[in-house]
Structure 1
Amino acid sequence: MEIPEIEKIPLWVHAIKIATDPLNHLDTLGKDYGDIFTINFGSTPVVFVSNPQAIKQIFTNTKEIKSPGELNQEMALITGNQGLLQLDGSRHKHRRKLIMPAFHGVKMQAQGQRICHLTEKVMGQHLVGKTFITYPTVEDITLQVSMEVVLGLREGERYEQLKQLLPAILKYMRSPIMQITSAFPSLQQDLGRWSPWGYLMYLRQEIFQLLYAEVQERRTQADFSRTDILSELIFARDEAGESMTDEEIRDLLLSPLFAAQDATAVAITWLLYWVHRLPAVRERLLGELDSLGDSPDPMSIIQLPYLNAVCNEALRIYPTQLFTFPRRVESPTELMGYELSPKTLLMGCIYLTHQREDLYSQPKQFQPERFLERQYSPYEFLAFGGGTRGCIGAGLAVFEMKLVLATILSRYQLALVKKKPEQPKFEGLMCYPASGVKMAIRKRDNIKSVNLKTLFASA
């Protein structure tokens, strides 16, 4: 039995619809074709799946369904040829194991006070009554956190340069000129810094050189007391017991550095949008924060059940990434009663899974309570993907979401500037708020709900 195939619509039509109206386009495809359908990209069939049991099979059947790094080779442009996305097998597993502790447990807990402090510092730059764009404001916070967690940097010339370049390359890659350039390989020629592709190569080279220099410098310092990812990688040994090269370490830094900055900033921006669009949600959150007393520590904040539910619902309704990373069928296998032939590509559609009415009643409505009433499996709620290619920074992202929101709610009264609903815009792998979410500070509150002075004192 053949998998339902989408009608012979030109690929450029799909591309335009995904770029201009991604969620409605996916809703239409899900309604017309159900849990599983195929789009042929040239001679390569790509099967999109939103059924939780099928997604579980894709994630867990690692014998017949692989997730080779070569399928993510386009990302090597900004993540390097030896980054986590490009590695396979034991090398990928080993490198992921080296990086993972920095995003979990005690090491991440140590960042709690710093996140609250940075949020207050960045938000304090905005004047009462003045409009600001939420996304770049939040990105400033997550960028500084990611540079500390990944590189161990807080200050210095190299820090300032990277602080400018990292968001600059992401912004440039989302620009209309680069969207056009990316769609036409013939335009991808380096004709110097003033050409579209040449400027991208310039930004890339600047970032690569700065990171390479930081790796070399830190290797000579040999400071065992540092706990950032860069320090861990410098002293680590590969699967053969050898030290990794400076280039390997540089490439391994890039994926977590960008993920901790960009994906987290997108998630927090959507979170702030929903909380301030729905006053009842904001009031309930403030009441929950009040229950902690005057001087709660960050670890008490992140354990609040309604706060957790609100973060999950923000990630459900507009997941930062609409699809999982691709997998490839290596040998004949069955999926949902369909026979899949080798070389078939598989992608989980995160958005359509999160919109299933059999899992989430009234899926278009923002209802955090659903996460208090039911515990969802990692194949039903998969905001950060899953399996061996799940986002390594997922834990840090949710950690930041909770602390940034708690800090802002406790210190400021914000209001959305636009009355119309924020529209999603799909660029690259991310689902961004189209306007960046315009807000204004009505007034700065005295510390009522959460007394953060204790937090800031030791940050």
Structure 2
Amino acid sequence: MKLIPRLKQSSLQQRLQWIAQPAKYMDSAGKQAPDIFQADITGGDGYVFVNHPEAMRQIVTSDRSKYFASSKENRLLQPLVGDNSLLMIEGDRHRQRRKLLLPPFHGERMQAYGALICNLTRDLVNQLQPNQSFVARHITQEISLQVILEAVYGLQDSDRSEELKQRIARLANIFESTLTSALLFFPWLHKDLGAWSPWGNLMRQQKAIDEAIYQEIANRRTEDCSQRQDILSLMMSARDESGEAMKDYELRDELMTLMLAGHETTATAIAWGLYWLHRYPEIKAKLQAEIASLGANPDPMAIAKLPYLTAVCKETLRIYPVAMLTFPRTVLESTELMGYKLEVGQVLMGCIYLMHQREDVYPEHHQFKPERFLEREFDSYEFFPFGGGKRRCIGEALAMLELKLVLATIISEYNLELKSGAFLKGNRPEIPARRGVTLAPKKGVAMVFQGKR
């Protein structure tokens, strides 16, 4: 069996570049070792990045005797989502919780969220003034956060809703820069030195959100929620195989996970979508024509089924995937993967970014080409922006629906343009940069609102 390639950079160089310039780190690594490599990003060589479709299939579909989906490598998220999040629990407990949480994110439930997403988008974009400059990532974050508050929490416009929205936004924006994102990667920085210190600020924002969440759960327990369709109410009424309901602390951790993993990632994807559509006017025009073909006031679910819109959204998630890596899998027994030797204890990470950049799978991979998703059906080991297997993102359906409907609403009803200087023909001014554990547009996509169409 072959040995897994090691990168030429030192451990310190790898770790610093992984934190500060993750896309550049992966681009360089992919050139050195196209299919698999040992990533020394934590002070050790236990991480193995994999980006070959067949290797991904083997990892995701293998039984638990070979690879185990361990949450140990997700500990950097524990201060934010808690110990009882779906991201942190394992084995049978994870299987039972996933089964409990999946129903609110599928089927007819999604139809109830369609009109909500479109109306929220209009409400927020209508607040912009003609010729007003704005950062798309800020607007999309507000839209996505409001969707979370109403669809997940069931909070309409109220003092409680506004207070929670402000608190969540402040917490999420702590990781707006690479420097503050580094807090997650260095445990020795987890020192509460007061409200002025980075970690102290984070802990105080977290405590304020916790107080609001627990108060909302307490209020909800005094109400009749049998007719409510929001995800919190559905989670509170759900029962596991033994008839047990979720505890308050479990609800809190899942709500934090949905807030941070849900609204942050979707907001970033929508901002990228706006960038690519306005960088390539011909793609935007084609999409506008497709939406117009549905006539006036089309049903949101009919919009969501449009093939070219779907292709645009998939290409947006392909070219710069918001999530860079899949859920980690720990090697439980010495084995081989595509002829490479794997040792017990090594941690396999499917590299979504590099998989989506493979020239043999996506010809002209640096080009934004939605047509590729109309010309070919990619399997779940070639295109997996939401991960795969038993750890696939449970909010995928809601995220895709939101991405489609927000983009379609804005493109069909408003005129926007990239701000002068934000795009110069022939180069790529918007580059992916770290935002917490995700990739986001470094500048947030600077735009100008020109009014309604």
Q: Structure 1 length normalisation: TM-score?
A: 0.93
Deviation at 1:182, TM superposition (A): 4.0
SS at match of 2:330: strand
Equivalent of 2:380 in 378, 381, 396: 378
* Structure 2 match to 1:222: 224
* Structure 2 match to 1:439: 447
Deviation at 1:222, TM superposition (A): 3.3
Q: Would the alpha carbon gap of residues 132 and 308 (structure 1) be closer, same or farther in structure 2, given more than 3 Å must change?
A: same
C-alpha distance in 2 between matches for 1:131 and 1:148: 28
Matches within 5 A, 1:443-458: 443-445=451-453
Q: Which runs of 5+ in 2 are unaligned?
A: none
C-alpha distance in 1 between matches for 2:182 and 2:69: 28
The answer to which of 204-213 and 228-237 deviates more is 228-237
* Structure 2 match to 1:91: 93
Deviation at 1:349, TM superposition (A): 0.7
Q: Does 1:238 align with 2:246?
A: no
Deviation at 1:59, TM superposition (A): 0.8
SS at match of 2:312: helix
Deviation at 1:2, TM superposition (A): 4.0
Deviation at 1:19, TM superposition (A): 4.1
Alpha carbon RMSD of aligned pairs, Å? 1.7
SS at match of 1:217: helix
Matches within 5 A, 1:51-450: 51-63=52-64, 64-175=66-177, 178-417=180-419, 418-420=422-424, 421=428, 422-445=430-453
Answer whether contact 2:325 2:351 (CA < 8 A) is retained: yes
* Structure 2 match to 1:10: 10
* Structure 2 match to 1:22: 22
C-alpha distance in 2 between matches for 1:198 and 1:57: 42
Q: Would the alpha carbon gap of residues 17 and 164 (structure 1) be closer, same or farther in structure 2, given more than 3 Å must change?
A: same
Answer whether contact 1:150 1:230 (CA < 8 A) is retained: yes
Answer whether contact 2:311 2:373 (CA < 8 A) is retained: yes
Q: Would the alpha carbon gap of residues 229 and 3 (structure 1) be closer, same or farther in structure 2, given more than 3 Å must change?
A: farther
SS at match of 1:173: coil
CA offsets, 1:68-116, max 9 Å, x none? 2222222111111101001112221222222222222211111111111
SS at match of 1:221: coil
* Structure 1 match to 2:47: 46
C-alpha distance in 1 between matches for 2:23 and 2:118: 33
Deviation at 1:389, TM superposition (A): 1.7
Q: Which runs of 5+ in 1 are unaligned?
A: 446-459
SS at match of 1:110: helix
Answer whether contact 1:256 1:392 (CA < 8 A) is retained: no
Q: Would the alpha carbon gap of residues 311 and 176 (structure 1) be closer, same or farther in structure 2, given more than 3 Å must change?
A: closer
Deviation at 1:172, TM superposition (A): 0.7
C-alpha distance in 1 between matches for 2:309 and 2:251: 36
Q: Would the alpha carbon gap of residues 419 and 175 (structure 1) be closer, same or farther in structure 2, given more than 3 Å must change?
A: closer
SS at match of 2:174: helix
Q: Would the alpha carbon gap of residues 180 and 318 (structure 1) be closer, same or farther in structure 2, given more than 3 Å must change?
A: closer
Q: Would the alpha carbon gap of residues 44 and 212 (structure 1) be closer, same or farther in structure 2, given more than 3 Å must change?
A: farther
Letter in 1 for 2:56: I
Letter in 2 for 1:313: E
Answer whether contact 2:311 2:374 (CA < 8 A) is retained: yes
* Structure 2 match to 1:36: 36
* Structure 2 match to 1:449: none
Q: Give the number of equivalent residue pairs.
A: 445
C-alpha distance in 2 between matches for 1:51 and 1:287: 37
Letter in 2 for 1:326: P
Answer whether contact 2:292 2:412 (CA < 8 A) is retained: no
Aligned-residue identity in percent: 44
C-alpha distance in 1 between matches for 2:341 and 2:44: 18
C-alpha distance in 2 between matches for 1:69 and 1:19: 20
Letter in 2 for 1:28: S
CA offsets, 1:174-209, max 9 Å, x none? 345534544543332112222221111101111112
CA offsets, 1:27-77, max 9 Å, x none? 221121120111244344211111001011111113210112222222111
CA offsets, 1:233-265, max 9 Å, x none? 222223432232211121122212222211000
